[in-house]
Amino acid sequence: MVYGQSTVPFKSRCIAIARFVTLLFFMGCSGGGFDPPPQSPSNVNPNDVDPPSPNNGDPKLIWEDNFDGDALNDKHWTFDVGRGGWGNQELQNYTRANHTVNNGVLTIEARKSGPNRYSSSRIKTQGLQEFQYGRIEARIQLPEGQGLWPAFWLLGADIEDVGWPACGEIDIMEYVGREPGIFQNAIHTPSGHAGEANSKRTRVEDLEGKFHVYAIHWTAQAIEFYFNDRLTYQYSPSPKNNETYPFNKPMFLLLNVAIGGTFGGPVGDNVVFPQKMIVDYVRVYEPD
């Protein structure tokens, strides 16, 4: 999803207004915030025997959230809140109230309160937890329905200084309910972003209604995307510079469910609300 809006104040009103306008113009909610050029999705059967994990051996776990207890860990996560379309003409109002933590899972709930009135939550580790390289993964069960747009993604921690897309964006997973059975990986950089983003769509049997693990293996040279440890996409441009690979620096994590917008599309009349994105865990492993 694309960032779209920030809750962290800038150093001056002038700079804040300029960057806010820029973010709204260029970004959309979560990974790949604008519909990429059409492509034929590859196919993955999650019931196939999976190959070894992309990190051979036993990589060291350096950070995790298993969503134990009955509240979100405020040392790990904070919130984006508010309306405004988030750069993609999205319909939801992001609140703190649309999430719960219990029974060992995080649930982000998309709700409808009236005609074209929806609410959801967007959480992030910005200012609390930042990561550079390694394996990053989450075990997620997706919501269903046309107009739903859940995502698991990263943004460069320097976004408040350099803006988007210079900060870089890695969309580990994004899904739009108007295309059931398909999820997307995407990369946004100054050299390719919004409709020109580098992306890959993958078709999966039984994608909805089950937990699956979405992951990246991120190094100074490449970003590999995995679905249940099966490689779906690799990004390794040449040459690598700030225009093509602004990923040799810390980034923070985001989880959210957007509704509608330029990528999510119209909300279907038959969508039954509330809809839930359920997250079992988020884990980060040390670099190779």
Catalytic residues: 169, 174
Rounded CA gap, 35 and 196, in Å?
9
- Structure tokens, 279: 């997250």
Q: Where are the beta strands (DSSP E) in the chain?
A: 42-44, 61-65, 78-80, 92-94, 99-102, 105-114, 117-120, 122-124, 134-141, 148-156, 169-174, 182-188, 198-204, 211-218, 223-227, 230-235, 251-259, 275-285
Q: What would the 3-class secondary structure string for 203-244 be?
A: EECCCCCCEEEEEEEECCCCEEEEECCEEEEEECCCCCCCCC
- Structure tokens, 213: 């693990």
Q: Give all strands of the β-sheet with 198-204 in edge-to-edge order.
A: 42-44, 198-204, 182-188, 169-174, 148-156, 251-259, 122-124, 78-80
**Is omega for the bond preceding 165 within 30 degrees of 0, making it cis?**
yes
